[in-house]
Amino acid sequence: MKEKNTVLIKEKAKILGFDYCGIAKAEKLDEDAKRLESWLQQGFQGNMQYMENHFDLRIDPCKLVPGAKSVITLMKNYYPSSQQKNNAPKISKYAYGKDYHEVIKEKLNELIVLVKQEIGDITGRGFVDSAPILERAWAVKSGLGWMGKNGNLINKQSGSFYFIATLIVDIELEYDNPFVKDYCGSCTKCIDSCPTDAILPNKVINGSQCISYFTIELKDALIPDSMNGKFDNWMFGCDVCQDVCPWNRFSKPHQEINFEPIPEILNLSSSQWEELTEASFKEIFQHSPLKRSKWKGIQRNIKFIQQ
């Protein structure tokens, strides 16, 4: 029965457009707990106080789903076929289209419904950046890739331009072997290329120094002067550490219509971004990840990178 249910879940995930599906046994993440505790103690979360909350939930799936037996990790490609004009303020590729939270959450809910129809009344909860889950750790445990030096999950066949979603269920399944090799080797391209030196040795990321942190997470009115001239024209997020990664030479354009770029993302010039009104911003980007920074945050970022 475990084997049959496992095959069923992986088949349904594929039908719904997920590129990869791996499954691990639900258990406490003791080693990851130590790393997370050390990371928080060093203050690498910056102003992201939410990273400090619900520590016990982050490391134990049974606290999120009582009776949890299996953690299913799903990956969906977002690498775009078209990219921005060279002179425009840069936007991270994951934000080109519709907000991935909306798109993937809907697919996760569909997956749960389909699985219940076939297997019966199981308890399951799906998460996409919406709960305290160490999704990359579970992806490694599920055999989907290794943790790169840039902190991203890297898949040997397809690179790192993937959204990761997690589904915790209370049924036993066949478990994939964890990914144990590290194919980064001696390469340090991501470390050497990071504009703000946010990538530290031993796969530690100083989140409080990352361009994505400053342009998205930091809600302060001003970005610190110490970052002047370091943003390399990034207005929302940053892809430098992924763009230079040799494994991303295997990236192929996604097939998800919801991730197709919003035309303005590809076509607005610097001056047009500056002139964009709040009303227009809200209308154009109402279903975009850019709404997270709001119009004021985008304008702040543009002013900063043009200093």
Q: In what order do the strands lie in the sheet with 162-169?
A: 20-25, 70-77, 162-169, 124-127
pLDDT for residue 147: 95
pLDDT surpassing 80 at residue 56 = no
Mean pLDDT of 123-127: 89
Least confident interval from 67-81, 122-136, 277-291: 122-136
- Find out whether 280 and 216 touch, Cβ atoms under 8 Å: no
Total number of domains constituting the chain: 1
The residue type of 125 is R
pLDDT surpassing 80 at residue 133 = no
DSSP 223: -
User: Which pLDDT band holds residue 58 (cuts at 50, 70, 90)?
Assistant: low
The catalytic residues are 129
Per-residue tokens: 60: 């134990």
Contacts 24+ apart (CB under 8 A), 289-296: 289/94, 289/95, 289/99, 289/100, 289/236, 290/91, 290/95, 290/236, 291/99, 292/216, 293/215, 293/216, 293/236
pLDDT surpassing 80 at residue 232 = yes
pLDDT tens digits along 256-276: 999 999 999 999 999 999 999
The residue type of 78 is Y
d(CA 266, CA 15): 30
- Find out whether 126 and 138 touch, Cβ atoms under 8 Å: no
pLDDT tens digits along 29-47: 767 666 666 656 665 555 6
pTM of the predicted model as reported, rounded to 2 decimal places: 0.92
User: Which pLDDT band holds residue 1 (cuts at 50, 70, 90)?
Assistant: confident
Per-residue tokens: 169: 């269920």
User: Which pLDDT band holds residue 220 (cuts at 50, 70, 90)?
Assistant: confident
Q: Which of 73-77, 128-132, 134-138 has the highest mean pLDDT?
A: 73-77
Query: Of how many residues is the chain composed?
Result: 307
User: Which pLDDT band holds residue 162 (cuts at 50, 70, 90)?
Assistant: very high
d(CA 14, CA 74): 10
Structural domain span for residue 24: 1-307
φ, ψ of residue 39 to 5 degrees: the values are -60, -45
Mean pLDDT of 115-122: 90
DSSP 227-279: GTT-STTEEE---HHHHT-GGGGG------GGGSPPHHHHH--HHHHHH--HH
Least confident interval from 83-92, 127-136, 158-167, 244-253: 127-136
